[in-house]
Structure 1
Amino acid sequence: MNRTTSEGAIRDGVAQAPGPLLLPTDRPRRRTAPRLTAVTELRLPASISGALDAFAASAGVAQDAVLLACFVALGFRYTGQESFTVTLAAGSSVGAAVDGESCLSELARVVGAGADDQPSPVAFQHACGEDVAQGPHELLLRIRRASERLDVEVHYDEALFDAATARRLLDHYATLLAAALAEPARKVSTLPLLTAEEQQTILVDWNGTGADLAYEDCLHRRFEARVAQTPQAIALSHGTDQWTFARVDQAANQLAHHLLEVGVEPGARVGLCLDRSSDLLVSLLAVLKAGGAYVPLDPDYPAQRLATMVDGAGCVAMVSRGDLSANLGAAADSGQTPLVLLDRDAPVIEGRSTQRPDVDVTPGDLCYVIFTSGSTGRPKPIALRHRGVLNNLADLNSRYGVGVGDKVLALSSPSFDMSVYEMVGMTIAGGTVVLPDRERIKDPEHWAALLTEHGVTVWNSAPALLELLVAQAERDGAVAFPALRLAMLGGDWIPVTLPDRVRRVAPALRFIALGGATESSIHSTLYEVTCTDPAWTSIPYGRPMANQRTYILDPAGQPVPIGVPGDLHLAGTGLAQGYLNQPERTAERFLDWSYGPVTGERLYRTGDLARYRGDGQIELLGRLDFQVKVNGLRIELGEVESLLRNHPEVKDAVVAARPDPVGDRQLVGYVVPRDPGTLDVAELRDHLAAVLPAYMVPATTVVLDALPLSPNGKLDRTALPAPDQAHGEPVAADDAPRGHWERRIAEVWQEGLGVERVGRDADFFALGGDSMKAARSIAKIGAPLKWADLYRHPVLRDLAAHMERLTADAAAQ
């Protein structure tokens, strides 16, 4: 927040006709007028009354101005609003502009400087026997002076506020007032709100998560312990290929020795450019056994992106296969980073020792470095340690009884940290990793078949993938997955309807919502959804997991009360070492913090806007920055914007995430060209695709004459036009579909992609199609179309011709 520091600035703010104070409510506001239907009161101690007399006299202000200023300061601390109105007893509304750097006496001198006749939802009354003007009001604070004491009442609308909330407001008013009177020079933004009891509850009791999970160990050693217990059990299943724990361990030992030979040393980073396969499990274990940390490199990423990641992580070696290494050219050609190709180098690797390498690795050493989108235009390398990751995996396994006999379907990309549970978490528990066919990795019909065939018991993914599976099962119209007993969802918002939908096709399911950040070893909070509340707008974020802690703080680093929004911070065993070789960026997000009973805590500032419910559950409200999630994938809009602005034909650019015509979230790029006549939108998209992963390339680009600005000259994101309200890329060719299949596919695409017309040469993915839309379109087109067919034939006329061949072959049989 931009906050000035002078009384003059406060007065200027008063003159700007501030809007109403919108206190956080327990229930959504209604269209009907609020009514004051309940009251609760608090008697302040005599010491407060005496201190008020002295404070007012010393500051040269009236007592009622001090009491009003305290109420204004409380409203500021509850909402973060720097200007708002409060209705007074006489019926007028005082405008208040709050500077968090000022003290209470400064605020008291100017808080009544402006008044108008516009009523506010919040009223303040310091009078005896005089009623405030009729509202409508949501809340009224009334202060009465009787002899040597102050009696404070809060009148409130029970449809909006709980009695406990009203009582806390009184307590916070009293706490803030007492602190301001005791320390007159203290800044309004740092005055305490929480009572000692609240501090104990929120900061200590709700963070009492200590558990003996034996996390002071290393991931590969836990795997090796499982090998000793069940050497012939199946660790990994891929089609007809079954890998026992002993076989995986032996292959990992051989590759570890080979990595040591090519220069991998303890603490070194090794890039793994591999897909979801047995090679991935073997290779990551081999890197850990060699004392290194693995760096997942997606084979589908552009070559420039991979080169940036290899350089940013300081990889001393890379592991891949010949068919996956094409985009590693830029990194490998430098000659500085040895490239191990598992197929090419198999004879040498298989000749290495099968004994475990004797390498000293500690729980505090790095186990992997994973990249996420970065707001500065470059991806961020997050460095994770063994103990933090092991604590997370052990917590989930022990909490939900995951062990021998359990199976998980590995769908998460190796570049997405939820894959760590699938590959490592399941195997250290003694369970089996089931791998999908590479050709059908995004095919929900294939997932459903694997769940049934293998009796998969655990699902672990972003919500969007489970939605696709459920939609597939719903089309089949029967209980589909009786063995599925546990679903763990993380990485994105979970639709409130999803738990009930999935339990209809998997009746034995326990549904777990997971929250957190890559910077805190995958997950930090969890909430088991046993039933959903019709009033929910989102699934609760939950409470901290074992040996992890959460703090919700305001911009000044003060803990916020129950119900008040703030910035969610994570702490505890799971915290990452930081951003690899980026101390300044690490210092921005990883903070040292102490408050009240908490001392010497290291925090990660998530940027998530959240608040506590009365039962300690965290409710996620949104973001405080421009990080977004699309299909569970984390994107910093600043990274995409930076690359757009780097294009020589672009003068300015901004990127937003907004619903597309069918309701899915998509990225939209808004660009202002240097010369509107020369900007080639298709070439601009190619410019981004050469650097960014496909999911970070805007689905639509809108060309504007200028970016919309607010009155103060800043970008007004709310004024950015919807893509269909501005000229952008054409959505289809001119030629109309012909024949049954072309017309049928065009009809499905028009509905599924939200476009008015589709030509014969239209490309499904160029029109905005993605894996989610592909699954829906395939289902509507129907058999015999398969997932791979659409990816091999994305152009409408080609797909229609393929469908004609398939139906002709089926008829001939």
Structure 2
Amino acid sequence: MLTSSPRPSGWEPAGPLGEPALPPDAGTIHGAFLHRAQTSPDATAVVHAGERLSYRQLADRATAYATGLQHSGVRPGDRVAVRMHRSADLIALLLGIMAAGAAYVPIDHSTPTARARQVIEDCAPALTVTDRPPADEQLPGRTLHPTALHPTAPPAPALPPLPDDAPAYLIYTSGSTGRPKGVVVPHRNVLALVRATAPGLGLGPDQVWSWFHSVAFDFSVWEIWGCLTTGGRLVVVGEEARTCAADFTALILAEGVTVLSQTPTAFAGLMGTLLAAADTVPVRTVVFGGERLDTRGLLPWLELLPPPACRLVNMFGITETTVHVTWQLVGRAEALDGSPSVGHPLPGWNVQVVDRDRRPLPPGESGEIAVGGAGLATGYWNRPDLTAERFAPCPVTGSRRYYSGDLGRLLPDGRLEHLGRLDEQVKLRGFRIELGDIRSALLGDDSIAAAAVVLHRPVPGDGALDRLDAYVVAEPGREETARTVRARLTDLLPDYMLPATVTLLPALPLTANGKLDTTALPRPATTPAAPPVLSADNTAPETDGTARLVHDSWSRVLGAPAGPDVNFFDAGGNSLLAARLAAHLRTAGLAHTRIKDVLLAPTPAALTRRLTPTTT
């Protein structure tokens, strides 16, 4: 059975249906943006750290970048890699790249150099733009600082119109062989996404969006271009606010953010601070994506901010199908039911659930989710075999579809239930991760004979506690420790792919068929617990009050105490848990604790020293 996009019951347009969200002749992302710059030049386009750019100013800056890129040799059809911090200038550069006829290839600024090299070597960009000193990057090919693109020469000749099927961006996702794969998405897909969602979500010039996610995560495509092509105002969320719920809430309130896009895990950490200001919260739409949503956790929000005051929209999507595929309004009934429904397909998209032979299954039977329609990517960059395998015709209709590897089930009313993954790909805090990618990095060292990686969810519904656990077997005669193994990975993998624990084993457990037996893997090895250090006569030193608060809060957040010199992140911590630890310490009486304190002082002893008031 194929389900397409009848408007779900109760789903009415969120705003007045005046002018279309995009001009009918808009064929490119930058073209749709320039239309807004021409019709509302003085409207605010982007806000970041005190800087406010109008649509005219952003368009002028983008045009300057396009000219600089052309004078630097960038031609239509090229790719330009970008490794910069989140800023208004980054948005101008992305627009400039597209206006020059090229596709942007985003690389998060925190990505290790080895991983960045893999992406650049694979996509062969005309150049890489980085806001770090280019000489320090040690990346292949031409590398320029954005200031080198400020044109001193006259404007370059106008380019012919770019076709709507030209690539707009390549976003790299984790690959099971250890080699990341680039998904090529054309301009028309992004515009189709905006046209499909604008009436239902009321997208337009009166909306204020937050840009929270990494530019290398396709949720950012929705946040940036969904806003700027419909005339909205985009609020760039800085690194400090991204990791502190109180600071992010303050930014939302100050800027009047109305459209908030979040992974469920991130929203769980933000919801409490927003609800504390429920009477003044400006948010009118929360869009969830990136990972499975447990709707039961939204009941407190729905009690204080029920529809139509604020609408919660659960959207299932895949990078290969242009960010979003389906949408589901979440009300009190859905939250009480805890349904895994992700709703109906967007207008222009369609969904099937298929068996192992890729033949459609009837409602109620589970199988692989296959997606067709307006969002299908061009394919994988320079990977024709993989493209042919995953983007293939339906054996019944012959229409092109993307076979996702996700497990799902159609309901009789055409809604889709998302039930997880069919393979080793997992989602952790919004990031798609191939466990085989991490395993490949482990096995890349000649001292490791075998390795396995599993996703551990100790408390269902609490994504902050989810973690990756690695198990390794050393080559005979080689001495290895968990610390040295993990240290090597930090040079190869981004933070979100680093295992929280590394356990050394004499051998991996196997099933009778010779496959890894994940059920027989032992409990992960963690750092031995120890109480806070006391003085020689067993009395508390002057810092013991703070030490006790740190120790108790640490134990509550991580579920186990630790010695004074144990690193928070080596003990299973992550940025979300660091935010939770800071919040717990503030509640316990250390009112000025911020997440940066945990990041800069990640052991109990160091954190105690940092938080202990100094006396003069």
TM-score, L = length of structure 2: 0.90
Instruction: Give the 3-state SS of the residue equivalent to 1:551 in structure 2.
Output: strand
Cα pair distance change 1:356/1:516, threshold 3 Å:
farther
Pick aligned residue for 2:563 from 759, 765, 769:
759
In structure 2, the partner of 1:222 is 32
Matches of 2:116 and 2:530 in 1, distance apart? 34
Q: Is the 8 A contact 1:237 1:434 kept in 2?
A: yes
In structure 2, the partner of 1:403 is 204
In structure 1, the partner of 2:482 is 681
Once the two structures are superposed, the pairs formed by residues 240-259 of structure 1 within 5 Å of their partners are 240-259=50-69
The answer to whether the aligner puts 1:273 opposite 2:83 as a matched pair is: yes
In structure 2, the partner of 1:111 is none
Query: Which structure's CA Rg is the greater one?
Result: 1
Cα pair distance change 1:632/1:623, threshold 3 Å:
same
Q: Is the 8 A contact 1:525 1:545 kept in 2?
A: yes
What is the identity, as a one-letter code, of the residue corresponding to 2:246?
E
Once the two structures are superposed, the pairs formed by residues 129-144 of structure 1 within 5 Å of their partners are none
Instruction: Give the 3-state SS of the residue equivalent to 1:561 in structure 2.
Output: coil
Matches of 1:207 and 1:503 in 2, distance apart? 26
Instruction: Give the 3-state SS of the residue equivalent to 2:246 in structure 1.
Output: helix
In structure 2, the partner of 1:631 is 429
In structure 1, the partner of 2:282 is 483
Matches of 1:569 and 1:327 in 2, distance apart? 44
Instruction: Give the 3-state SS of the residue equivalent to 1:622 in structure 2.
Output: strand
Cα pair distance change 1:569/1:341, threshold 3 Å:
same
What is the identity, as a one-letter code, of the residue corresponding to 1:730?
T
Cα pair distance change 1:327/1:471, threshold 3 Å:
farther
In structure 2, the partner of 1:787 is 595
Matches of 1:402 and 1:326 in 2, distance apart? 43
Q: Is the 8 A contact 1:231 1:245 kept in 2?
A: yes
Matches of 1:702 and 1:795 in 2, distance apart? 21
Cα pair distance change 1:682/1:654, threshold 3 Å:
same
In structure 2, the partner of 1:320 is 130
Q: Is the 8 A contact 1:371 1:382 kept in 2?
A: yes
Instruction: Give the 3-state SS of the residue equivalent to 2:403 in structure 1.
Output: strand
Matches of 2:157 and 2:370 in 1, distance apart? 40
What do residues 702-739 of structure 1 show as CA deviations (whole Å, max 9, x unaligned)? 2222222222322222222232xxxx342567862651
Pick aligned residue for 2:544 from 719, 722, 739:
739
Matches of 1:329 and 1:360 in 2, distance apart? 36
What is the identity, as a one-letter code, of the residue corresponding to 2:594?
K
Shift of 1:400: 1.1
Matches of 1:420 and 1:551 in 2, distance apart? 25
What do residues 742-783 of structure 1 show as CA deviations (whole Å, max 9, x unaligned)? 22111111110122x222222222222111111211111001
Matches of 1:215 and 1:603 in 2, distance apart? 27
In structure 2, the partner of 1:703 is 504
Pick aligned residue for 1:236 from 46, 54, 66:
46
Instruction: Give the 3-state SS of the residue equivalent to 2:408 in structure 1.
Output: strand
Matches of 1:629 and 1:215 in 2, distance apart? 37
Shift of 1:327: 6.6
What is the identity, as a one-letter code, of the residue corresponding to 2:118?
T
In structure 1, the partner of 2:412 is 614
Identical counterparts, % of pairs: 31
In structure 1, the partner of 2:574 is 770
What is the identity, as a one-letter code, of the residue corresponding to 1:469?
L
TM-score, L = length of structure 1: 0.69
Matches of 2:528 and 2:190 in 1, distance apart? 45
Pick aligned residue for 1:574 from 366, 375, 379:
375
Shift of 1:405: 2.1
Once the two structures are superposed, the pairs formed by residues 89-128 of structure 1 within 5 Å of their partners are none
The answer to whether the aligner puts 1:803 opposite 2:611 as a matched pair is: yes
Cα pair distance change 1:804/1:458, threshold 3 Å:
same
Instruction: Give the 3-state SS of the residue equivalent to 2:613 in structure 1.
Output: helix
Equivalenced residue count is: 586
User: In terms of mean alpha carbon deviation, does 217-226 or 585-594 score higher?
Assistant: 585-594
In structure 2, the partner of 1:136 is none
Cα pair distance change 1:415/1:500, threshold 3 Å:
same
Q: Is the 8 A contact 1:217 1:362 kept in 2?
A: yes
In structure 2, the partner of 1:655 is 453
Shift of 1:454: 1.0
What is the identity, as a one-letter code, of the residue corresponding to 2:194?
L
Matches of 2:257 and 2:421 in 1, distance apart? 35
What is the identity, as a one-letter code, of the residue corresponding to 1:741?
T
In structure 1, the partner of 2:143 is 339
What is the identity, as a one-letter code, of the residue corresponding to 2:51?
D
In structure 1, the partner of 2:291 is 492
In structure 1, the partner of 2:183 is 382
What do residues 616-675 of structure 1 show as CA deviations (whole Å, max 9, x unaligned)? 111111211011011111100111111212221211111100124796211011112223
Instruction: Give the 3-state SS of the residue equivalent to 2:138 in structure 1.
Output: helix
Matches of 2:245 and 2:21 in 1, distance apart? 39
Shift of 1:248: 0.4
* Unaligned runs of at least 5 residues, structure 2: 8-19, 535-542
Matches of 1:696 and 1:484 in 2, distance apart? 31
In structure 2, the partner of 1:309 is 119
Q: Is the 8 A contact 1:496 1:532 kept in 2?
A: no
Instruction: Give the 3-state SS of the residue equivalent to 1:497 in structure 2.
Output: helix
In structure 1, the partner of 2:138 is 329
Larger relative contact order (Cα-Cα within 8 Å, sequence gap ≥ 6): 2
Shift of 1:612: 0.8
The answer to whether the aligner puts 1:748 opposite 2:553 as a matched pair is: yes
